[in-house]
A and B are shown apart, each in its own frame.
Chain A
Amino acid sequence: MAKESYNWSEIARNPKYLELKRKKRVFLFGWWIASSVYYFSLPLLSGYFPALFKIKLIGVINFGYLFILSQFVVAIFVAMYYTKVANRDFDRLTDELVREIQ
């Protein structure tokens, strides 16, 4: 591996870096936790509140089926939203920081 000579602890104190780090951490862990809560609500609800899953909403299609489908929608939404935010904010902040250091 090539050895670049960066002063890591100096970069770690750079205000731009700290801003990027904070933004990334809040966003990534926040969304990770939120989507996990939604994900685990599926086995929890189906296991402990099966009656909810039986409620028919569209013809014979019930809440359970639509809730499972919504898991797919949520996963895709999180992926798309993250891509958008990362491309717009994180990548820009990273580029600015890297330019400043180099």
Chain B
Amino acid sequence: MFTKIISAVLLSILLTTVGFSAEPSKSASQVGVTVPSSAPAVQASTTVQNPVAAAVASAPATPVPTPVSGVPTKVKPNRAITISMFLVIIGITLCVVIWAAKQTKSAADFYTAGGGITGLQNGWAIAGDYMSAASFLGMSGLISLYGIDGFMYAVGPMFSFIAILLVIAEPCRNAGKYTLGDILSFRTSPKPVRAVAALSTVTVSLFYLIAQMVGAGKLMQVLLDIPYRVSVVGVGVLMVGYVVFGGMKATTWVQIIKAGLLMSGTVLLAFLVFAKAGFNPVGFFTDIVGNQLVQDHVRINVLKDALPKQGFDYGQRFMEPGLFLKNPLDQISLGIAWALGAAGLPHILMRFFTVPSAKEARKSIVIALFINSSFFFLINIIGFGAALYLSPQLISSVDKGGNMATLLLAQLLGGGAGSLGGDMFLAFICAVAFATILAVVSGLVLAASAAIAHDVYVNIVMDGKADQQTQVKVARITSLFVGIAAIVMGLAAEKENVVALVALAFAVAASGNFPAVMLSLFWNRFNTAGVISALLVGTISALALVVISPVMTYPQKIADDAKKMIVTLEKKQSEGVMLAEKDVKLLAKSRTDFEKNDGGTSMVGLKAPIFPLKNPGIVSVPMGLIAAIVGTLLFRDKRAEDMFDEIEVRQITGLGISKASDH
């Protein structure tokens, strides 16, 4: 009965948008026209200004071809083949959902698949939860355009599993149950702590989720001309379906399937690149350094040297740092967000509870770390391969941020555009990206709804007194609403600069959740006031710093840049030089840009950023930590200190571990 109602709701959402889309196909095609005015700004903030996002999730947020430089080249996947592959993936995952739905009866089944996932399965699922389409598409793009800096960039997301492995996974598995709130409320006043933990979880997950949804929408729009709204709603309906019916079990298997597909695609691509290079790494890199197009790209597009400097090796420069990552302090700040943030992400934390013991939790993180490191290593081969075999010029002509590099390379290595092999391989890689998005968003919806249903409803509203049936029902209804909220926000954020959201999710997780979890597990005096001040100060400081950072869009800056362009071009004109058609267009565009943006301010009314760094971690993490310590010491709590023995013994030994059979 209940499930029928949900199916009906989902179906009606889907139908409404399909109905809608008949008209929006027009509005979608307009996007291509309206985007250019804002494209440089968005572009700049996505790919240059904010590295976190480019790599974490939002890289696909900007694959809008920028028609500024004449006619853009496009990646044209074969629609029929690609859509059939999508349908195959949807079909397989729906079978998984039907299978999982039959076994999801208790709250433990819904949130943790009854603790019945093995370490090996969970390792693949964690990898599937973590590796986003942006890493797959965006990071290889960065490498293909900026060389070694792109590869350096991959170290952060790879390394973040070390903190999880050593100090987070096993203790959390031993001391926790379903959510972040369970760990934090263990020896504190449960109600306020759960409320704040739930708020933080929902914030982090929704930020991340919206960025993914917008990315998915834009990617599908560029690749397959599917209108933005249809893709966002389609992805949204699928993810809600997975989570509502199949709970953690379905989500886990969707993530495992995705990780399998992603790794096969990556291994195959890297193998083909390596084969083309004659399995000779030194020769491969020598070819890149000696490649005329790569050298020109570094000289003209990156370093902006109009004339070659005497004796400067522009090819070798591609192998040296500093082309993309320019501010060391920002890099360190970003490094902190990676190293600690991933360990505080609620949807990752939640995955440890799906295995039966700390030993299995350890095993799953080690496996995830292996998969993850191999993935990022292979991405480096793919990225450099794209630079050599496609040329950075071609890649950036299709998408300024390089997000189409992987796809173009697949097409080339499959046999070229128009060939069956090229079409098939490209379609496969598109399908991999699609599966990747689905898996990541499902995990996020599950984490957010667990926080609302388990922490807020069951433990705050119902005082923990809810029977299994009610708990599952509430969890399903919550997932439905979280999903709908994500769809609505994804649609509303179509033209927003969502990049900041991912940076924010990581920064909040690193500055609030991470200190709170660590101190709950390892500091005897930590108490209610400490948890609440860590979460609030960490979250608010990260939020505030991002809002006043260069990541945001500053209309005044766009106006100033436009002004500069106008002055240059008008000077040319006044000197009697006939402007090329391209320049005339650029002049007109600069004038509208100037008028539209002059005197404008950012979202919080700033003309220019106040905080100089794009990544707040270096300031917000210490702030969250200090707040935690100060809060704790100001409001000492005897009960919390007395209970430290219990949480410590539990987290170290696993005694009294919460098992599926406990209910």
Contact = CB atoms under 8 A, between A and B. Distances in A.
B430 interface: no
Given A6-B649, A75-B159, A76-B373, A1 B320 contact: no
Contact of A83 (B158, B285, B322, B366): B366
Given A1-B177, A71-B159, A80-B366, A64 B148 contact: yes
Q: Bin chain B's interface residue count.
A: 35 or more
Where chain A touches its partner, the secondary structure class is: helix
Contacts of B648: 12, 21
Given A6-B656, A58-B282, A60-B319, A44 B328 contact: yes
Interface string B176-215: 0100000000000000000000000000000000000000
A60 B315 CA distance: 10
A54 to B, nearest CB: 5
B646 A72 contact: no
Interface residues of A, number: 55
B271 interface: no
Where chain B touches its partner, the secondary structure class is: helix
Interface in A23-80: 24, 28-29, 31-32, 35-36, 39-40, 42-44, 46-48, 50, 53-54, 56, 58-62, 64-65, 68-69, 71-72, 75-76, 78-80
B369 A98 contact: no
A40 B653 contact: no
B656 A4 contact: yes
A68 B161 CA distance: 16
A94 B648 CA distance: 13
A60 B166 contact: no
Nearest to B652: A21
Contacts of B286: 59-60
B161 A43 contact: no
A70 B435 CA distance: 31
B274 to A, nearest CB: 15
A6 B285 CA distance: 61
A59 B283 CA distance: 9
Contacts of B44: none
Given A58-B282, A64-B321, A12 B151 contact: no
Contacts of B331: 43, 46-47
Given A28-B167, A32-B167, A60-B285, A68 B362 contact: no
Given A17-B652, A32-B166, A65-B151, A39 B362 contact: no
A76 B87 CA distance: 37
Interface in B353-379: 359, 362-363, 365-366, 369-370, 373, 376-377
Contacts of B344: none
B653 A61 contact: no
Nearest to A39: B159
B645 A12 contact: yes
A-B pairs, 9 with minimum CB distance:
A47-B328, A43-B331, A8-B646, A12-B645, A46-B321, A59-B282, A60-B289, A8-B645, A2-B662
A19 to B, nearest CB: 11
Interface string A80-102: 10110011000100100110010
A12 to B, nearest CB: 4
A61 B321 contact: no
Nearest to A28: B166
B165 interface: yes
